[in-house]
Structure 1
Amino acid sequence: MPVTAAAADAGTTTAYGPDAAALRRQDPRIADVLDGEARRQGDGLQLIAAENFVSPAVLAALGSPLANKYAEGYPGARYHGGCEFVDAAERIAIERATALFGADHANVQAHSGSSAVLAAYAALLRPGDTVLAMGLQYGGHLTHGSPVNFSGRWFDFIPYGVDAESGLIDYEQVRVLAHEHRPKAIVCGSISYPRHIDYAEFREIADEVGACLIADAAHPIGLVAGGAAPNPVPYADVVCATTHKVLRGPRGGMILCGAELAERVDRAVFPFTQGGAQMHTIAAKAVAFGEAATEEFRGYAQRVVANARALANALAAEGFAVTTGGTDTHLITADPAPLGVDGRAAKARLAAAGIVLDTCALPYGDGRGIRLGTAAATTQGMGVREMPGIAALFTAALRARPDKAAAVRAEVRELAERFPPYRG
């Protein structure tokens, strides 16, 4: 049973909480927006790899009185008074995060994954340092050296890629580049790499050249929590992550590290890159960490991967060119070109049918592919038996004549209504 099925028991009157009536009286325009978004989320297939449905308990923490509290600093050392309860919330979040991932230290104040990466760089690097990271065209994140991002402006990034045939990380190329450029840090992580990363191999390469190892585990960290993906904590100097995606918490970031880097990481978050902590979000992170420590979540993480593998196989059977031949994670990337359409056109046609996903760069070639994930659909209760039907809906949406598009949309809506993200 998906965790969100507890919504009715939690006393939730709508998808956004028990105070919806008060919001509608006070601000009907915003209430309409929230109602519309709730309908949109339940009316189609939400397959964006970076999204999920949080539990009613996480929503309750996000809408709690902790949103009122200013709490610059850390537990026991705040710049404002009246922090005894927010201190307790943050300590619980830290305790749960360190236990969940086996880390010495956790900073749970980062506002986002990008904020976490910025703080990691601030803790370990200086402007102008050389950094080795996955190239953007192969799945690297904006914070891995994009010229429009702070990372590309402040540091000298050297990109590594993937093998042209297999689509897998070319670890020998990483080693050669590391020895050639002697980077201060190596970043391992991607926004569209569907296979497990060999953190031990990255650690070995980093040690050979005296580099720090930063793991950007924004996508797989929820699978790590559920025992469905390798844990980067024993290998990386610093692990950056988000608390949403598969982890099924609020939108935000966190940083995990050893005790020797704890003070540097904390000071890099506050006061160097951020001000007051968002205490309602930190409380919601604590709730999510608690949920992720359960056997139910471990089963959920396994189902996410099983669904992704089943969907990847079904898409391949429908004619999509699935990169790396499949997936180890929640994430699938594929080229729809064999169906006569590029990634951007595919995204638009699928969106018109109520199937929401992203495009992504293809490692080799000029076009774009599609990127999707199974975390949200799995939270809703969909399983491997639904995946072939979803793949068939993909094909129907891409090939439907204009007069048939409404029929495909109706099929998508019928499937989504069988698995509501919030019941009650």
Structure 2
Amino acid sequence: MQVTCGIDWAEDHHDVAVVDSDARLLGKLRVTDDASGFQDLLHLLAEHGDTPDDPIPIAIETSRGLMVACLRASGRRVFAINPMAVARYRDRHTVSRKKSDHQDAVVLANILRTDAELHRPLPGDSELVKAIAVLARAQQDAVWDRTRAHNRLRSHLREYYPAVLEAFADKRERLLAREARAILAIAPTQAEAAKLARSKVRAAVTQAGRQRRIEAETDRLLKVLRQSRLRQPALVETAMGHQTLALLAQLEAACKACDDLASVTEELFLQHPDAEIITSFPGLAVLTGARLLAEIGDDRTRFDTARDLKAYAGSAPVTRESGKSRRVSHRRIKNSRLAATGRHWAFAALTASSGAHDHYNRRRETGDRYYAALRNLFNRMLGQLHHCLITRQKFDEAIAYRPPQPSPLDATA
């Protein structure tokens, strides 16, 4: 008799339901989100045939949390079902749109009873990959936080202090440059910038890490900062200067978090056996490779074919067809973190691989726009990566971008 379990999770408790192959409710329970609650859950499962050799599959609406981690550690197959899918399954059992936690647990158990083959269990990744995923995602979040903090500071400075924006307009990092942050720390307003001593500017530039052309850079900054410009009223400018210092502190914290997390992520990633294969690809640095591994994992049974991996990453197109209408477009439902990493990888590969650059140019010549061509390049490289990880071999440019061989018919013609 097939038995399935559904768990409707909450912050401090979880509703559990166990059903059999005929949709009969065998047992239900509300457990707390702690060790005793987990033991109660195991006892309920054991009462209905759960054994180490034949564990009961479990459906839940999240892939994170202590309960999920403990269930996965115990060797059980856990299915993370999208809440939107659960809402549609709920309509199969009732048309009144009533909802309760117990009812949702029953719905989750019935999803596995009827459509288990249409859903993927959580992958059996190693502990090392799970740790890399935590750090890589945290580092990526820190980068996004840093970008938001930079944009907020830049928007604020435009309202009263355009001189500092002009001073670092030619820098690739703009306000993220250490020199820019050092100058803002000692002169958060136009009034203070106009009174800066040359020695103080030189010291700030030196402490920011510059080692060459220090005197020339000091003269350039003083010239820009001392120019006559439009000003806010004195009291308003002072108040805005205090706000700048607060925004600058947030930016400094975000920059430090990015650097610290990047360091530990790279160190942990290099310990993984797949790191050597992943970094052999053009355009994949250590940090980008860590983000990639964090999202695809090291459970090689998770994606049976490269096509499955491409769909998960959102690089493979999707077809919408109805009657005489047929439309092929890019995927909107995807792993957004993996898709963002793929854009960086494809862009970096343009200059690191002649084969990748030629493939990109061919796509542009056929009419693809910039992002469509990059996405197509990422799609191809992702298939190559899947093959190399399965066969345990490094990237080879000559094989990956081998020119098409002429057919025998062409030769006889």
**TM-score calculated relative to the size of structure 2:** 0.26
Where is the helix percentage greater, Structure 1 or Structure 2?
2
Higher relative contact order (CA 8 A, sep 6+): 1
